[in-house]
């Protein structure tokens, strides 16, 4: 069985033949079921890494189907397909995302072959190659603590570039976002969704971020000796935003490494920033006073007011991939992205788009004034040595 396994849930045999042919050509192992009632058994045996789900199955409307997937395969990448209009598809996607499902895209019927190929290629590129966690799989506390003590948690670096806004400058590499991974002794490389929620639940997320940040500092020190000073961003869990010692501790670590705090940015999601505005504002202000950058991540998916955004000391706003990935095909998403770019620039913030997947999207982002971007069209999250080679190539270009 190949590492990438696609399960199609659709009552049309013709759709199964088309999807199966393309999926197998792209390297997937493929199965097709026409009855949602057998999903549980097939899911347990086949353990798909991706699902294509029809929203109009006999006896199962789209909401019922997504609820079934939520119960049986909550960590599996999902593509939604249907003959309903795009607004219904987008509404179903929003419902799935609100339940925590990994809805990666929507494909209207009749399915365009090019769009299907692009969607499946995207799923393969996102995959780490490690065996996915089965529904209900959990790591015990001993494994999680060993991951920290043995430094099995490590960063991958997803490159971030400036965009050629206005056609006056070349796009260039400016840095990367450090993304947590776990090199498990038997499971291989585990993605963040597979272990970070448990780290948070067991009170280990602060220690995990310390371990990750320490490795980031080590790599940044090596890059500095070679003359490279990339901007590196690190994500902070909402559970860490009440630790008043955090800014002092991280400043001391940066200074001890012989580096500048201005080289590092901490990313905080919009929903996390608004949980306790007073406490969060105090910690974030202290970070900024010490020279660190602050990025408001996943903007547009939370419920912050513009007043609170104005009061918070962020210097970067990141537009969520949910909008960026739709902007060229969905007029409403396009309007939202343009408004967020104008809002960020009007407030004097650097604006960065996440989830840029193709050159057309990069050109669009530059055209509307978005200053920075990251996504698979630029590069996947890289190992430290791979990012080092990218830095060297960019410096010598």
CA distances 327 to 85, 93, 180, 368, Å, are: 17, 15, 28, 11
Structure tokens at 330: 């969905």
Cα-based distances in Å from 60 to 34, 56, 64, 75, 211: 11, 7, 6, 21, 46
Per residue in 242-292, pLDDT (tens digit) is 888 999 999 999 999 999 999 999 998 766 666 667 778 889 999 999 999
- Note the pLDDT of residue 133: 45
Return the pLDDT at 113. 74
Structural domains of the chain sorted by starting position, each given as residue range(s) with its CATH number in brackets: 5-126 (3.40.50.2300), 141-396 (3.20.20.450)
Element (H, E) at 133: none
Mean pLDDT of the chain: 85
pLDDT tens figures, 116-129? 877 887 776 555 44
Per the structure block, which two tokens stand in for 242?
């009440």
Q: What residues does 50 pair with on adjacent strands? A: 6, 77
pLDDT of residue 298: 73
Q: Which is more confident, 145 or 112? A: 145
What pLDDT is recorded for position 302? 54
- The residue-averaged pLDDT of 292-308 equals 73
State how far the Cα of 128 lies from the Cα of 302, in Å rounded to an integer.
28
Long-range contacts of 125-130 (CB under 8 A, 24+ apart): 125/376, 125/380, 126/77, 126/376, 127/3, 127/4, 127/49, 128/181, 128/188, 128/189, 128/190, 128/191, 129/3, 129/188, 129/189, 130/3, 130/184, 130/187, 130/188, 130/189, 130/190, 130/191
pLDDT digits (tens, 9 = 90+) for 338-370: 999 999 999 899 999 998 888 899 999 999 999
Confidence of residue 136 (pLDDT cuts 50, 70, 90): very low
CA distance 78 to 97: 10
**Segment among 15-19, 152-156, 308-312 with least mean pLDDT:** 308-312
Higher pLDDT, 56 or 199: 199
Whole-number pLDDT of residue 278: 72
Structure confidence by residue, pLDDT tens digits, 205-247: 999 999 999 999 999 999 999 999 999 999 998 888 888 899 9
pLDDT at 84 over 80: no
CA–CA distance, 380 with 181 (Å, rounded to integer): 13
């Amino acid at each position: 069985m190949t590492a990438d396994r696609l399960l199609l849930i659709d009552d049309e045999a013709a759709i199964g033949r088309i999807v199966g042919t393309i999926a197998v050509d792209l390297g997937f192992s493929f199965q097709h079921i026409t009855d949602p009632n057998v999903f549980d058994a097939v899911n347990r045996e086949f353990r798909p890494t991706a699902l294509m789900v029809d929203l109009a199955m006999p006896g199962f409307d789209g909401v019922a189907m997504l609820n079934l997937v939520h119960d049986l395969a909550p960590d599996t990448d999902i593509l939604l397909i249907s003959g309903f209009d795009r607004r219904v598809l987008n509404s179903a996607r929003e419902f799935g995302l609100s339940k925590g499902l990994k809805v990666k895209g929507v494909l209207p019927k009749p399915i365009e072959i090019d769009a299907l190929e692009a969607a499946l290629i995207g799923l393969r590129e996102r995959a780490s190659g490690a065996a996915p966690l089965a529904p209900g799989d959990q790591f015990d506390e001993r494994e999680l603590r060993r991951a920290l003590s043995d430094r099995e948690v490590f960063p991958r670096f997803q490159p971030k570039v400036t965009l050629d806004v206005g056609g006056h400058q070349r796009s260039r590499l400016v840095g990367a976002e450090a993304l947590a991974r776990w090199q498990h002794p038997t499971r291989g490389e585990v993605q963040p969704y597979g272990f970070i929620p448990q780290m948070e639940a067991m009170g280990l997320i602060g220690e995990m971020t310390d371990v990750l940040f320490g490795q980031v500092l080590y790599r940044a020190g090596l890059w500095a000796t070679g003359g490279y000073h990339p901007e590196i961003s690190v994500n902070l869990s909402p559970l860490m935003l009440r630790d008043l010692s955090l800014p002092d501790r991280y400043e001391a670590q940066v200074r001890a490494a012989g580096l500048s705090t201005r080289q590092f940015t901490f990313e905080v999601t919009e929903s996390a920033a608004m949980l306790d505005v007073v406490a969060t504002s105090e910690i974030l202000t202290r970070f900024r006073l010490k020279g660190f950058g602050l990025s408001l991540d996943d903007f547009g998916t939370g419920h912050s007011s513009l007043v609170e955004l104005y009061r918070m000391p962020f210097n970067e706003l990141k537009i969520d991939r949910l909008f960026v990935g739709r902007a060229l095909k969905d007029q409403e998403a396009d309007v939202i992205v343009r408004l967020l770019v104008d809002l960020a620039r009007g407030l004097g913030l650097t604006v960065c788009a996440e989830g840029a997947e193709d050159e057309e999207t990069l050109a669009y982002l530059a055209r509307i004034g978005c200053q920075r971007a990251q996504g698979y069209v630029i590069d996947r999250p890289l190992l430290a040595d791979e990012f080092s080679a990218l830095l060297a190539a960019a410096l010598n270009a």
